[in-house]
């Protein structure tokens, strides 16, 4: 029986997550790289393979959106930093996604869209209309949200006779993250306390929107309507100077932060997501060490801990790449983790 032709994939953005995804797509025989969109002028014209330390592919990077829209491709891995990260208009991300969907390309994105219904019917109608025009599907994913705070708790809920509360914790170490744009300008590490609040205002808005989607998704799957999603955050200050990949953290500047998102029903939390971010986990003892944890209180009560995820950004990219075949095969429309089979790394196996 003849094998299926490889799926043609476009990589949209080649930053911290997109670079990993591009590397995986090039290495997978079940995919064919169709195009690459970049934002950095220095990357324009560079062969996509050389950009990620591989051999030449014959596909050169472009910053021309119209060129990407005109390509014949099955799927776009949409992985830019969301506009809302830096106080931009979130509608620009929606416009880009809708344009891609309308052009006949399925879209898998790590820029939100995990559960668009959390933002109301107008957004859903717009996205669904774009899917209908292009005969395409949209899927938002990642590692958290996308797996740890939604897919994993839902998988565990299948063992539950009664659920009282779901708790998910992420603790991430940014010691090796190379992007000052992310680590300092977005998350606020190495900022003076007087500057921190203003710096993280766009990040706060995006975090609330993103984790609201995740919490609402889990509640919907469990048949519960949330009354509200509350957010709180706090930070810790460095007591000595230390260096990380993105720069220098000095005494008295922010070196860690803790964010909590709670989905409430009648004033009580059904689900709580705690996110701890550390500039260097070896230098910050406050709050949980790196890793992920999921606790379900009920009958039975359960706890699952993942002590460490090395290269978590690579995990986020891989989860998207491993979803390509399922998204391309799905009926047109918005597809959440509830609508797709479990993404497994079937094409990722490398045997010595």
Percent of the chain with pLDDT strictly greater than 70: 98
pLDDT of residue 223: 96
Q: What is the pTM of this model?
A: 0.94
Query: By residue range, what is the domain housing residue 48?
Result: 7-142+314-348
Q: Are 189 and 170 in a shared domain?
A: yes
Q: Are 104 and 189 in a shared domain?
A: no
Q: Is residue 155 assigned to a domain? A: yes
Lowest mean pLDDT among 48-52, 91-95, 271-275, 305-309: 305-309
Its sign, for the CA torsion 204, 277, 119, 262, is negative
Q: Which residues pair with 254 in a beta bridge?
A: 237
pLDDT, tens digit, 9 for 90 and up, residues 203-223: 888 899 999 999 999 999 999
Q: Are 138 and 193 in a shared domain?
A: no
Phi-psi region of 102 (alpha: psi -120 to 50; beta: other; left: phi over 0): alpha
- CA 238/CA 335 separation, integer angstroms: 42
Q: Which of 54-68, 179-193, 332-346 has the highest mean pLDDT?
A: 54-68
Q: Are 180 and 293 in a shared domain?
A: yes
pLDDT, tens digit, 9 for 90 and up, residues 144-181: 999 999 999 999 999 999 999 999 999 999 999 888 88
Q: Are 294 and 325 in a shared domain?
A: no
Q: Are 131 and 21 in a shared domain?
A: yes
Q: Are 288 and 195 in a shared domain?
A: yes
C-alpha angle 320-324-328 in degrees, rounded to nearest 5: 140
What is the radius of gyration, based on Cα positions, of the chain?
20
pLDDT of residue 1: 43
Q: CATH number of the domain that 32 lies in?
A: 3.40.50.720
Q: Are 57 and 72 in a shared domain?
A: yes
Q: Are 167 and 298 in a shared domain?
A: yes
pLDDT of residue 86: 66
Mean pLDDT for the stretch of residues 255-284: 97
pLDDT of residue 119: 93
pLDDT of residue 244: 97
Q: Are 158 and 292 in a shared domain?
A: yes
Count of structural domains within the chain: 2
Burial of 106 (0-12, 13-18, 19+ CB in 10 A): buried
Decide if pLDDT at 202 tops 90.
Answer: no
**How crowded is the C-beta side of 81, counted as CA atoms within 13 Å?**
18
Tokens 């705690």, residue located: 274
pLDDT, tens digit, 9 for 90 and up, residues 22-64: 999 999 999 999 999 999 999 999 999 999 999 999 999 999 9
Q: Is residue 1 assigned to a domain? A: no
Q: Are 28 and 97 in a shared domain?
A: yes
Q: Are 334 and 196 in a shared domain?
A: no
């Amino acid at each position: 029986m003849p094998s299926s032709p490889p799926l043609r994939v476009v990589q949209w953005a080649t930053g911290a997550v997109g670079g990993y995804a591009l590397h995986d797509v090039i290495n997978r025989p079940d995919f064919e790289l169709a195009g690459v969109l970049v934002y950095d002028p220095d990357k324009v014209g560079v062969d996509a393979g050389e950009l990620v330390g591989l051999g030449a592919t014959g596909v050169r990077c472009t910053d021309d959106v119209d060129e990407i829209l005109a390509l014949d491709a099955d799927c776009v891995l949409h992985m830019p930093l969301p506009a809302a990260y830096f106080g931009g208009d979130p509608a620009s991300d929606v416009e880009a996604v809708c344009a891609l969907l309308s052009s006949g390309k399925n879209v898998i994105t790590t820029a939100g869209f995990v559960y668009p219904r959390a933002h109301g019917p107008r957004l859903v109608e717009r996205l669904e209309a774009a899917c209908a025009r292009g005969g395409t599907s949209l899927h938002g994913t990642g590692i958290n949200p996308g797996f740890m705070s939604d897919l994993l708790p839902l998988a565990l809920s299948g063992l539950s006779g009664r659920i009282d509360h779901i708790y998910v914790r992420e603790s991430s170490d940014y010691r090796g993250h190379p992007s000052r744009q992310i680590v300092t300008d977005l998350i606020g590490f190495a900022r003076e306390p007087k500057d921190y609040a203003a710096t993280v205002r766009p990040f706060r808005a995006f975090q609330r929107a993103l984790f609201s989607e995740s919490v609402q998704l889990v509640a919907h799957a469990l048949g519960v309507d949330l009354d509200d999603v509350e957010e709180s955050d706090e930070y810790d200050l460095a007591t000595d100077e230390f260096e990380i990949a993105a720069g220098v953290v000095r005494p008295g500047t922010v070196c860690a932060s803790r964010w909590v998102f709670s989905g409430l029903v009648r004033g009580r939390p059904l689900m709580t997501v705690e996110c701890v971010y550390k500039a260097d986990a070896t230098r910050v003892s406050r709050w949980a060490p790196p890793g992920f944890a999921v606790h379900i209180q009920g009958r039975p009560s359960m706890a699952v801990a993942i002590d460490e995820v090395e290269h978590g950004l690579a995990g986020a990219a891989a989860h998207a790449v491993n979803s390509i075949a399922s998204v391309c095969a799905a009926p047109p429309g918005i597809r959440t983790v509830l609508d797709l089979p479990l993404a497994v790394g079937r094409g990722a196996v490398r045997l010595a």
